[in-house]
Structure 1
Amino acid sequence: MRTFALTSLLALGLAAAGGAAAPTPAPLRATAAIRDAAGQVTGTARFEQLGPNLQITVQVRGLTPGQHGMHIHEMGRCTPGVDPATNTVVPFGGAGGHFDPGMSKNHDAPTTDNKHGHGGDTPMLNVAADGTGQLTFTTSKVSLSGENGVLGRSLVIHARPDDYKTDPAGATGPRERCGVIMRENFAVRDYPLPGPQDFPEGVAVDARRGLIYTGSAANGTIYVLNASSGAVSKFQEGGAKGRATALGMKVDAQGRLWVAGGAQGTVSVLSPDGMTLKVLETPPSPHKYVNDLVVAPDANVYVTDSYRPVLYRVKPDLTLESWLDLGRTPIKYGPGINLNGLVVTPDGRYLLSVQLNTGDLWRIDLRTKAVRKVMGGLVNGDGLLLDGRTLYVARNKDQVVGKVALSADYGSGQLVAEEPLAGLRFPTTLASLGGELIVTQGQLDKLQGGTPEAPFRLTRFRKF
């Protein structure tokens, strides 16, 4: 794998590290090779992040003189696909509809905010008499990182001018050119999943056997992948022993797979060959959401519930208990998802957990049960991965992996980088394999509606 670029929020030479400020990294950049329906490259588009604005430069040839509508589309595919308006297969239909991060469902002018118009609505391209067109513009509607990120999406040029009002595409007619927006100087490895409704939420690694596990938030199916070849098979069908969803996952020292059961309030323990060894039930409640778990060095397993303010513990004899009443701590539960991702420090002294709806990171002392706020600012923080005193945070709606530098006692931290990789789709959690990380592209924002990008996938990348 090639060397990876890094998007830093702050210089890494922080006071906590005791060093001078590191040089500011180069801006995020991306390119798209613009192709015609025959696959021939007829132009390029370049993207550069300049603070809050994205500068886009398009150069193309071989088009009819005049104005051409141009838009950023949802999917990163320049393949034929079905046009919903005509129910026919059209060139570049695989790019899907306009990128609409604000869910406006409305085509409008390039100056309209994303709540009222598609984020992918851009200025028109003027093509000269010789068939060449060139346009440079800046926009704050989209970016190369974050909720409005366009990495891995498509830029499409249409046959006719844009009236900036007719849904869904401004009466711009056929799609004549298309290019996938690709991050420059950056490589990842994707592990595609076979199911049309996989929505992978959890991920766990058995490093000794070279296996990766992931589970579906939609139906509870668990897959096992060969980390080297990418070969994938079903480890256990959804619905096994009443499991309708599979969220947080971990592999213990015995090779057993632990699975958080979400709204069913269960913790499942599976053998290395896929048999269900035990299903543990948390106390009955109309509002339960067992979300993540971690295996501590002493073989106790700690479990978060995102709706009920309690931490559970599964002891080595596979009995479950309510270990800590969070209502008696500084952690205050509110509407939405509360405590979510959970990790244990290498010395087995502390748990760290992120509260998704507030963005707060908490430290919980396993000896005294004392709770301390480490930091804020991690809103939409989902799964966690701890590597020494570096904490990686999958920030789902923000579509980045954050990097937090922690103090020696894990009692304070600072966000030092955010990484969009080659384009993330609602990342939910992470696992470590050697010097690399694996992140789930969960797309849970599409679970209750919308069209997810297929195939679902896990993405492997180097630590940054």
Structure 2
Amino acid sequence: MRQKMLALWPLLTLGLTAGSLAQAQTAPAPTASITADTVGPLNARALLVDTQGRPQGEAAFVQREDGVRVNVQVRSLAPGNHGMHIHEFSACAPGVDAATNTVVPFGGAGPHFDPAMSHNHDKPTAANELGHGGDLPMLTVGENGTGRASFVTDKISLRGENGILNRTLVIHANADDYASDPAGKSGGRVLCGTVDRQGLSVRDYPLPGWQTFPEGVTYDAGRNLLLTGSAQTGDIYAVNAASGETSLYSRGGALGRRAALDLKVDSQGRLWIAGGAEGTVSVLDRYGVTLKVLETPKSPAAFINDLALAPDGHVYVTDSRRPVIYRVSPDLRLSAWLDLTKTPIRYGEGDNLNGIVATPDGRALLIAQSNTGDLWRVDLRTKAVRKVLTGLKNADGLVLRGQDLYVARNRDQVISRVRLNADWTSAQLAAEEPLAGLRFPATLTVVGSDLVVTQAQLDRREGGTPETPFRLTRFSAF
């Protein structure tokens, strides 16, 4: 666990007046609503250190409706203007600078934060589709070596697609020309600090591997083990929830399991695995040995994505590309249970039905549709389908605790809490949390009074560089 304390200081203002930068932006607001409740005030701090590890300043970030208020204070820098940028990764350590292919101080911070994948360095008033989201105003340092800056920008956020929590603020040696790729000829990286959420504690469980991409997670309470699966290799890892010790539980590729998406542990200790594009559901015993692989009809469009264990022993399965809900009986027979073309649910491009849970009374399923943001209720007796809520775009895995439904919203990089009524027929959004920074959160599981979420980084599978180590993050239910 790590506790983060808020630090504020009086700051002077750059030539940009407060709010003028935000008004000049044309980039869209973050997908996640900034009006939903969070655990505490949404602000962050970065302690800026030099290449010798000595503290040389601070930066504070406060979420506002019109963007993020950024206040920076530094000392012991050369007089003049200095380029200042948000970088992709959280490591203020030496690393390879892709522009020069050499190891440089703070190279571990990676390239500029570029949420819209513009691949272009530009001025701090450019929309994120045109320039890096991390391109900030310059820091001006006086003759005495101290510099202060204060501005508001909507290029970044403390939540949502443009979220900068657990990334880095880097100050460079020279001025920024706001044109030359990749960093405006701003020279070496002289100060660096990780943007840390204030007032919230989380615990990370690091995972091995450079291509892990942990999509699914479940909890085996009897053994106090978290089980997580790789969307890339199909490997399953066991993580001791107390110590964090990690071991390989089942090697990917077993009986055709090339990917492991959602995972669930049943009352017999068996592990159920959604096989994604393989169109399969695998069942493993408590030692990681494959008991059975259940196959859906062969199709190039198959994408078995999520699983729900019902109280009566049936397992319900979503397919994000084919409009059908599958069901596995207690004797491990798979069948097409509900043809969705005969319901109000309409499939379109992208991922459709995804996260799924059964209500504890065994009467209904709650299912999220990622591409539309709709939450659906399916009656298990009549198969009647009704819409419960909309507005949960990019909803992925679901966890139900009492009347609270927790939703991992992958590209939005938040966890949403939805409050349901007694019969699960209506709901309202109660809270949204970026935690201490999320990277494409995919699925959740309950561990006592806590929850654990995967930081899957699935948006980096086809392009870009994932931040390693991959990790699971544990947090208190909010």
- After TM superposition, is the score higher than 0.5? yes
- Per the alignment, residue 324 of structure 1 pairs with 338
1:5-404 equivalence runs, <5 A: 27-404=41-418
- What's the TM-score once normalised by structure 1's chain length? 0.95
Q: Deviations over 1:62-112 (max 9, x none)?
A: 000011000000001100001122221110000000000010000000000
Q: Distance in 1 between matches of 2:57 and 2:176?
A: 20
Q: Kindly state the Cα deviation for residue 425 of structure 1 after the two structures are TM-superposed.
A: 0.2
Q: Residues 10 and 391 from structure 1, CA distance in 2 versus in 1: closer, same or farther, beyond 3 angstroms?
A: farther
Q: Distance in 1 between matches of 2:189 and 2:112?
A: 12
Runs of 4+ in 1 over 4 A off after TM superposition: 1-5, 7-12
SS state of the match for residue 327, structure 1?
Answer: helix
Q: Distance in 1 between matches of 2:424 and 2:158?
A: 31
8 Å Cα contact 1:10/1:415 also seen in 2: no
Q: Distance in 1 between matches of 2:300 and 2:47?
A: 52
- Per the alignment, residue 23 of structure 2 pairs with none
Q: Distance in 2 between matches of 1:26 and 1:421?
A: 10
Q: Distance in 2 between matches of 1:167 and 1:98?
A: 10
Q: Kindly state the Cα deviation for residue 4 of structure 1 after the two structures are TM-superposed.
A: 10
- Per the alignment, residue 16 of structure 1 pairs with none
RMSD: 1.6
Q: Kindly state the Cα deviation for residue 306 of structure 1 after the two structures are TM-superposed.
A: 0.6
8 Å Cα contact 1:8/1:416 also seen in 2: no
Q: Distance in 1 between matches of 2:100 and 2:67?
A: 35
- Per the alignment, residue 433 of structure 2 pairs with 419
Aligned-partner residue type, residue 239 of structure 1: G
Q: Distance in 1 between matches of 2:35 and 2:430?
A: 5
Aligned-partner residue type, residue 402 of structure 2: G
8 Å Cα contact 2:2/2:203 also seen in 1: no
Q: Residues 25 and 299 from structure 1, CA distance in 2 versus in 1: closer, same or farther, beyond 3 angstroms?
A: closer
8 Å Cα contact 1:32/1:46 also seen in 2: yes
Q: Kindly state the Cα deviation for residue 186 of structure 1 after the two structures are TM-superposed.
A: 1.1
- What's the TM-score once normalised by structure 2's chain length? 0.93
Q: Kindly state the Cα deviation for residue 2 of structure 1 after the two structures are TM-superposed.
A: 7.8
Q: Distance in 1 between matches of 2:192 and 2:160?
A: 23
- In structure 2, stretches of 5+ residues that fail to align are 6-31
Aligned-partner residue type, residue 476 of structure 2: R
Aligned-partner residue type, residue 451 of structure 1: T
SS state of the match for residue 424, structure 2?
Answer: coil
8 Å Cα contact 1:10/1:416 also seen in 2: no
Q: Kindly state the Cα deviation for residue 52 of structure 1 after the two structures are TM-superposed.
A: 3.1
Q: Deviations over 1:186-231 (max 9, x none)?
A: 1100000011000000001001210100001111111011110101
- In structure 1, stretches of 5+ residues that fail to align are 13-23
8 Å Cα contact 2:356/2:366 also seen in 1: yes
Q: Deviations over 1:141-186 (max 9, x none)?
A: 0010110000000000000000000000000000000000000111
Report sequence identity in percent. 63
8 Å Cα contact 2:257/2:275 also seen in 1: yes
Q: Kindly state the Cα deviation for residue 353 of structure 1 after the two structures are TM-superposed.
A: 0.4
Q: Distance in 1 between matches of 2:197 and 2:429?
A: 23
Q: Distance in 2 between matches of 1:4 and 1:44?
A: 14
Q: Residues 4 and 10 from structure 1, CA distance in 2 versus in 1: closer, same or farther, beyond 3 angstroms?
A: farther
Q: Distance in 1 between matches of 2:268 and 2:34?
A: 39
Q: Distance in 2 between matches of 1:456 and 1:116?
A: 29
Q: Kindly state the Cα deviation for residue 8 of structure 1 after the two structures are TM-superposed.
A: 9.1
Q: Kindly state the Cα deviation for residue 397 of structure 1 after the two structures are TM-superposed.
A: 0.2
Q: Deviations over 1:18-44 (max 9, x none)?
A: xxxxxx986311000000000010100
8 Å Cα contact 1:431/1:439 also seen in 2: yes
Q: Residues 2 and 171 from structure 1, CA distance in 2 versus in 1: closer, same or farther, beyond 3 angstroms?
A: closer
Q: Distance in 2 between matches of 1:312 and 1:102?
A: 36
Q: Deviations over 1:355-377 (max 9, x none)?
A: 00000000001111111100100
Q: Distance in 1 between matches of 2:183 and 2:189?
A: 10
Q: Distance in 2 between matches of 1:206 and 1:263?
A: 26
Q: Distance in 1 between matches of 2:313 and 2:463?
A: 40
Q: Distance in 2 between matches of 1:25 and 1:444?
A: 26
Aligned-partner residue type, residue 286 of structure 2: P
Aligned-partner residue type, residue 49 of structure 1: Q
- Per the alignment, residue 435 of structure 1 pairs with 449
Q: Kindly state the Cα deviation for residue 299 of structure 1 after the two structures are TM-superposed.
A: 0.7
Q: Deviations over 1:258-294 (max 9, x none)?
A: 0000000000000000100000000122211000011
Q: Kindly state the Cα deviation for residue 51 of structure 1 after the two structures are TM-superposed.
A: 1.2
